[in-house]
Every structure is written in structure tokens, then in C-alpha cells.
Amino acid sequence: MDLTALSNRVTEALDNAISAEMSEADRAAIVKIVQQALIDASAQIHRECKEAAVICCGPEADLAHKIQEQMDKKRDMLIANLMAMR
């Protein structure tokens, strides 16, 4: 999932939906809100996936920890990419 493209698409849709002219500061504020919403959503999905992995793997806790480690790495990479968009 390309979050930069998604963020830009949502920001553009909001810009088209709002009839008033916006300053660059207002536009930047909207972009920041959209980016934070994406970070929050990805963090929640990440937590839910980790819980599911632990529940599914039960006795194979080592496998669950390996899955969790990989998910943590991907989350960190996602957050780094989102932070770079600022």
C-alpha cells in the first residue's frame, strides 16, 4: 500500500470538497491530519494482527514472536516513510 499516494488522494479530495480558498498553512494542517490518521489506523491494524498471530500460534510461541518481530520491522518502516512525507 502506497500511503503517500493515499494521503495525497485524500487531501486532494478534501481540497475539492471544501469550497473556500485555503492558505498553504491550512493545506499543510490538513495534510498533517490525514497523515496522522493513516499512522493511527496502521498502528491499530498492527496491534490487532499481532494479537491474532499470538492467538493462532498458541503453543508455537517462538513462531508468534518471529512473526511479531517481522511485523514490528514493517511497522517501523511504515512510520519512517510517513514521517518522511512531512
Cell match 486532494: residue?
A: 12
CA atoms of 9 and 3, how far apart (whole Å): 10
Cell numbers describing residue 33? 491530519
The pTM score is 0.55
Cell match 498471530: residue?
A: 53
Quick one: pLDDT at residue 83?
77
pLDDT digits (tens), the chain, 86 positions: 566 777 778 878 887 887 778 788 887 888 788 888 888 888 888 888 878 777 776 666 677 777 888 888 888 888 888 777 76
Quick one: pLDDT at residue 6?
77
* 2-7 CB contacts, 8 Å cutoff, 24+ apart: 3/38, 3/42, 3/78, 3/81, 3/82, 3/85, 4/81, 4/85, 6/38, 7/31, 7/34, 7/35, 7/38, 7/85
